[in-house]
Structure 1
Amino acid sequence: MSIEIRNARDIDPQALHAAMLDAFSDYDIPLQPTLDQFMGMLTQRQFDPALSSIAFDGKQVLAFWFIGTHDHRAHLIASGTRIADRGKGLAKQIAARSEAEIIKAGFKLLQFECLTSNQRALGLYQKQGHEIHREFDCFVMEIGDWAESECEIKKVDWATIAPHTEALRDVMPSWQNEDFAVAAAPDATCIAAFQAEQLIGYIAVAPSGAIYQLAVTKNHRRKHVGRALLHNAATAINKPKLAFINIDTSDAETISFLTHLGAQKTVSQYELIKRF
């Protein structure tokens, strides 16, 4: 059967999920979400099946570009090709289709990440007009038995935190951790720290243990507030480890805090941007 390049509408989510599992099975850090986690990721990152592209042989998805959108921006949620179908030019074809649809829909920018270790892919992206915008580090951390903070820690909804995020954090999160993405996350756990009824810090975490955001106001740092938020988040989702995806390398204070607590760097990524 011939291969069809098309959008992702009316494609069984299980077929999309199966393609992702195959494509990412030999990744530097294999990404193997459950079907529920995969669907949650698409929801949280505002998946647009019309702008997304797949290569389809009538039986299974061979390659994919999953696109999400917000405001004037389009985001590449994930892209990949099944191991057995690489080297056929499928990735180039579906990328071209998605970019054409993104431009037609009026979006002005495409944003995504590429591992810094994948210099071959980076070179191809740069030839296609993508520019390095920022560099990110990713970490994993075991939660310790840390000293308690004197502040009040309690579970809240994201609406309690959202009006204060810009005042508390130093650096803008990566797109998949921005406020709009946390608000769209179906099962985010949000925990806040209060001092004299004033919000002084917060954390938002996925059920998988991936941290969306963590911030503490400047005049309350180094007082165990961040540790208390991490400990309470891990307890709330019953995970012994937490992961930090895409911490801006310019955010020296956060990186110093994480490494001081024993966090281990896993991979580094470039944030790439293409403007239309």
Structure 2
Amino acid sequence: MTYQITDCRNLGSEELCAAMNAAFSDYEVPLRMTIEKFRDFQKQRGYSAEHSFVSVKGSEIAGFWLSSAPRPAFAGRSYAISVGTDPHHRRQGIVRRLSETVVEKQKSEGATGLQLEVITTNEKAVNAYRSFGFETQRTLRVCRVPKSGLPIPDPDNLKLQALTLEDLPDNESLYFDTQPTPQNSRAALISLRDKIHLFGVRQNGSLAGWAASYADGSVAQIGVHKDHRRRGIGRALLNRLGTSVTSDHLTFVNVDAAAENTNAFLDKAGAEDHLRQFEMHMRF
């Protein structure tokens, strides 16, 4: 029986979640994602069933390439939210055939390319993506900041308040040194607006900075206006996020390793490195 490739419009979250858990079951830290978390994962990353594909053998999902539609906020690129192969079906060229199908679909939709993240130490995957035509754009840091070591903010002139997404500026360039990856973008926050913690600081009537985290303690964004830095705003925001989540640490996923100010801030807060990823792009 041969492998057949089809899009995911007739597949539910339960089937895809099971396939994803199976594909990463033999990793050093096996993936065990619940249905609820998987559905949030889909929303957060802009999953599109029409732009996602699986390789099926009989009734079994042998491999998958889950994607978004082309995203204007990322120069028209599609985001590969997860790619994997069931351990029993590896070394069959499944991911390569899926990538070819994805590229054909995305080109027909006017996409300018694809982007994804891959763990830097996963040499087989990195080399495979390079053979498909992906190139490394930047290195991303994944780290944890223990809540026990969070900095104590200076309360004298800082008043933090809960924000809504509508309070955030349309132009984020004065707050961020580099663009967030898709799962930490404004679109991701909007998709999970009922499950995020969002706080900010206003000074002289304008928004000086804000921080947003997901319910599991993953920090999506922390940005301080360039005219308001080195005044303790970042420390205050970080501390406030720590009090809003039940986990014993805050997790920062995909921090640009070249963002010197951001990484110095995290290191000063006691950040502990977990792993690093490459952000890779394929251009059409």
TM class by smaller structure: over 0.9
In structure 2, the partner of 1:176 is: 183
In structure 2, the partner of 1:23 is: 23
Counterparts of 1:162 and 1:56, CA distance in 2:
44
Give the letter aligned to residue 237 of structure 1. V
Give the letter aligned to residue 111 of structure 1. Q
Following TM superposition, by how much is the alpha carbon of 1:164 offset from its aligned partner in structure 2, in angstroms?
A: 5.1
**Which residue of the other structure, out of 150, 153, 161, is the alignment partner of 1:148?**
153
Counterparts of 2:185 and 2:102, CA distance in 1:
23
Q: TM-score, normalised by structure 2?
A: 0.90
Q: Which moved more, 1:78-87 or 1:7-16?
A: 78-87
Counterparts of 1:29 and 1:214, CA distance in 2:
28
Contact 2:115 2:279 in 1 (8 A): yes
- Deviations 1:201-234, CA, capped at 9 Å, x for gaps: 1111111211111112234333332222122223
Contact 2:150 2:269 in 1 (8 A): no
**Which residue of the other structure, out of 190, 207, 214, is the alignment partner of 1:206?**
214
- Which consecutive segments of 4 or more residues in structure 1 shift more than 6 A? none
**SS of corresponding position for 1:166:** coil
Contact 2:152 2:239 in 1 (8 A): no
Counterparts of 1:267 and 1:118, CA distance in 2:
11
| Structure 1: tracts of 5 or more residues without a match | none
1:224 aligns with 2:232: yes
| Identical-residue share of aligned pairs (%) | 27
Aligned residues: 276
1:35 aligns with 2:39: no
Counterparts of 2:15 and 2:238, CA distance in 1:
36
Output aligned runs, 1:111-260, within 5 Å: 111-143=115-147, 144=149, 146-149=151-154, 150-163=157-170, 165-186=172-193, 187-260=195-268
Give the letter aligned to residue 117 of structure 1. T
Task: Tell me how large the CA RMSD over aligned residues is.
Answer: 1.9
Give the letter aligned to residue 159 of structure 1. E
**SS of corresponding position for 1:168:** coil
Contact 2:78 2:106 in 1 (8 A): yes
Counterparts of 1:37 and 1:18, CA distance in 2:
12
Give the letter aligned to residue 11 of structure 2. I
Output aligned runs, 1:7-18, within 5 Å: 7-18=7-18
Counterparts of 1:251 and 1:238, CA distance in 2:
28
> Structure 1 114/247 Cα, relative in aligned 2: closer, same or farther at 3 Å?
same
